[in-house]
Chain A
């Protein structure tokens, strides 16, 4: 017993080092799997608060650009609105039960990163604003990511520029779908994998979200095909997709809540 205590005292520095090192490695491994990094994330009151005050200043420098983006989007929506006949609109509003499946919440990005291999964004809406895990996040141009952690006032978004991110997406012109991943090389290019060889892929094709998950509605723009090749098995394509969004410059985002998500997931869970 005496010897054990002596040993502990003699090697206390090394043991402390070992303990702290294993804690950090443990935290690292946890962060490599989705939904598990509960404690170490920037959606807490301290880091969220600091990012908030920094963002209050930073916001002013991007006002002009933000305005232009909003104008552009307004313009697009107005042109759709004016070209739709009023009867169609009335019809759309009259059967509310079927048409309203998605709820949108606006939010502002406080922190964005794109140089690491697992990138996250911090936004200024949290549980208080009924933001939950697994909601989709988009901008007016395309998708941004999925919410993976929330606190009272802030939420953390797992960016599509994250090696853990998997998003169901498909070609716009045909219904061939695949999984959107990122190989951590360029913040503009993501990879669409597992698209069958039969799919008619061409450079310049548009990639949109597939409606197969409960997170994103079908048809949100992702990007354009820049190049494609077959994988090792020669049965599936690996497609390089250039994002519509400039992931390095994101100001305002929309959070999408699928109001039927619970119903759909209970349906799937019955199978298991």
Chain B
């Protein structure tokens, strides 16, 4: 139990630092940045204390906001996906997901991609809508969320494959 907590604390710090110092300077084509810190929310254990989980997600978003000077947009997006995560889990992995302790590395690859994509798309949509906050720029919001999502999903999948401990 203790080692799991340590893993998550380290993951939290490493993801925030990578996000702030490396990924936010990519600016591919001028505006596309991946936001892989949501891996923390995606990979958080399924059996959890929901209150703590939502609070941690808020803290994660707020820390990223601190680094990126973005007010509270990351915090808002993170809290939303953390709150809605059980719904996505249920729709992707079936209704019985919480009875079996799913390990993400042992799930079907296609299911995993769907799960990642739903969470990422919703996160980015909320993120950019709040950041731009202008209905006349809806095209810009959609463009930014779509392209950044593709980038984020690709990176997330690569990272989970690279760092998965399971060897077939």
Contact = CB atoms under 8 A, between A and B. Distances in A.
Contacts, number: 118
A213 interface: no
A56 to B, nearest CB: 12
Interface stretch (B27-35, B90-98, B112-120): B27-35
A125 B98 CA distance: 52
B129 to A, nearest CB: 10
A17 B65 contact: no
Interface residues of A, number: 43
Given A20-B58, A116-B131, A47 B140 contact: no
B69 A113 contact: yes
Interface stretch (B4-12, B73-81, B158-166): B73-81
Contacts of A12: 51
Contacts of A184: 132, 137, 140
Contact of A47 (B32, B67, B131): B67
A24 B73 CA distance: 7
A122 B69 CA distance: 9
A17 B54 contact: yes
Interface stretch (A25-33, A67-75, A137-145, A199-207): A25-33
A42 B58 CA distance: 18
A79 interface: no
Interface in A33-67: 37, 40-42, 44, 46-47, 50-51, 54
B130 A25 contact: yes
A87 B69 CA distance: 49
Contacts of B50: 13
Given A24-B76, A31-B72, A187-B30, A117 B132 contact: yes
Given A13-B50, A16-B55, A184-B132, A115 B70 contact: no
A21 interface: yes
A120 B79 CA distance: 24
A120 B76 CA distance: 20
B121 interface: no
Contacts of B80: 17, 21
Contact of A16 (B30, B54, B140): B54
Contact of B58 (A24, A41, A50): A24
Contact of B61 (A24, A30, A51): A24
A136 to B, nearest CB: 19
A172 B13 CA distance: 50
Given A113-B68, A118-B69, 7 more contacts: A13-B51, A16-B55, A17-B54, A40-B66, A50-B20, A113-B24, A186-B30
Interface of B: 17, 20-21, 24, 27, 30-33, 50-51, 54-55, 58, 61-62, 65-73, 75-76, 79-80, 82-83, 130-133, 137, 140
27 contacts: A13-B50, A14-B83, A17-B83, A20-B79, A23-B72, A24-B61, A24-B72, A26-B72, A28-B71, A28-B72, A28-B73, A28-B76, A31-B70, A31-B71, A32-B71, A40-B62, A40-B71, A47-B66, A54-B21, A111-B67, A113-B24, A113-B68, A115-B27, A119-B69, A120-B69, A184-B137, A184-B140
